[in-house]
Chain A
């Protein structure tokens, strides 16, 4: 799954991490910074978008400030064979931002994880119950977040900064 990226491509990944400039032709500005052409940068980004390396280019809303105060990590124990179908049901909810299957351990015996966001805890609770029912899943736990201790951008190719 790993694609070899050129040093130029890695610089493009880093540049995009800093955000798109708010100007009429933002990709031209990025391209100029990187010594590439606008067409070249756009072609590469479309390629990455197609292959899934670039998941999305979009605005990152400060959701807590905007009223989405409650955030719960909802977890279920699910048999391996049921993960794909249940996961697809969970993924369809607009209130679910992330959904993963993870390794199960004895001290935390769950397989399926969904991050559910809401304006209130009740909203998260209700959505978790609704999803659980709709996806044919049984018991669940909600781990509400009580404090954000760190949040930062992934350090993609950060060690090459300035090369």
Chain B
């Protein structure tokens, strides 16, 4: 059960500081990494962390086993990468629909000088999880994760009331074919 590493791993503070130094931009290793905040080990680690955190008692020890690192070194490097802002957090992605939520993508066509106003209006709804300006006549695209269909309709109704000149398209998914975000960090 992921008990490969030592209890706390070889984890003297200096190691953490070294890893932090790399991640913060003071170190470039000799392998030709991009002027670099991260060395090759960091890059392999971040790929592994993006892939999946194993659901075992000591996940960092398990990751370390796969990468040939101690649990302590995995943790120190992970903390340094987090501190440097390379990733936002180790988080869970839930299928909101399976949890009973209604999700959808909404397209809005609005005059360019009204985008800020629409975005400002939408910002206050916790249901709005992503909102992007895009190059198209439908120039604003946002996603909703709402408690139920009535709530989706209430938000879209309010949006229409506030901005009657905007054209609004509700484009719910009929089928989810992939949700797997992964950015290869080993290709500088």
B131 at the interface (CB under 8 A from A): yes
CB contact under 8 A between A55 and B75, given known A2-B100, A19-B91: no
> A24, B78: Cβ atoms under 8 Å?
no
> A56, B93: Cβ atoms under 8 Å?
yes
**Cβ 8 A contact of A24, one of B75, B133, B172, B176:** B75
Q: Mark B86-122, 1 if CB is under 8 A from A, else 0.
A: 1111111111111111000101010000010001001
A141 at the interface (CB under 8 A from B): yes
How far, in Å, is B126 (CB) from chain A's closest CB? 4
> A101, B175: Cβ atoms under 8 Å?
yes
CB contact under 8 A between A59 and B138, given known A20-B90, A94-B182, A102-B174: no
A146 nearest CB neighbor, chain B only = B133
Please give, as numbers and ranges, the residues of chain A lying within 8 Å of B119 by CB-CB distance. Answer: 149-150
Please give, as numbers and ranges, the residues of chain A lying within 8 Å of B109 by CB-CB distance. Answer: 107
> A61, B90: Cβ atoms under 8 Å?
no
A33 at the interface (CB under 8 A from B): no
Please give, as numbers and ranges, the residues of chain B lying within 8 Å of A90 by CB-CB distance. Answer: 177-178
Please give, as numbers and ranges, the residues of chain B lying within 8 Å of A52 by CB-CB distance. Answer: 95, 98
> A53, B94: Cβ atoms under 8 Å?
yes
Q: Mark A1-36, 1 if CB is under 8 A from B, else 0.
A: 111010000000100111110111111100000000
- In the bound complex, how far is the Cα of B46 from the Cα of A61, in angstroms? 8
Please give, as numbers and ranges, the residues of chain A lying within 8 Å of B87 by CB-CB distance. Answer: 59-62
B131-188 contacts to A, CB under 8 A, are 131-136, 138, 140-142, 145, 147, 167, 169, 171-185, 188
A77-101 contacts to B, CB under 8 A, are 83-84, 87-88, 90-91, 94, 96-101
- In the bound complex, how far is the Cα of B91 from the Cα of A110, in angstroms? 32
CB contact under 8 A between A156 and B96, given known A22-B90, A60-B88: yes
> B91, A149: Cβ atoms under 8 Å?
no
> B50, A55: Cβ atoms under 8 Å?
no
B146 nearest CB neighbor, chain A only = A155
> A107, B167: Cβ atoms under 8 Å?
yes
- In the bound complex, how far is the Cα of B185 from the Cα of A94, in angstroms? 12
**Cβ 8 A contact of A108, one of B131, B171, B175:** B171
Would you give 11 A-B contacts (Cβ < 8 Å), ordered by A?
A18-B89, A22-B78, A61-B181, A97-B182, A99-B177, A100-B177, A101-B173, A101-B177, A102-B105, A108-B138, A147-B132
Closest 3 CB pairs of A and B: A19-B89, A87-B177, A91-B178
Q: Which residues of B are interface residues toward A (Cβ below 8 A)? A: 8-9, 34, 46, 49-53, 55-61, 71, 75, 78-79, 82, 85-101, 105, 107, 109, 115, 119, 122-123, 126-136, 138, 140-142, 145, 147, 167, 169, 171-185, 188
Given contacts A58-B91, A150-B131, A152-B128, 17 further A-B contacts (CB under 8 A): A13-B94, A18-B91, A24-B60, A55-B180, A56-B93, A57-B55, A57-B92, A59-B53, A60-B89, A73-B141, A91-B177, A94-B184, A97-B181, A107-B109, A141-B136, A149-B122, A149-B131
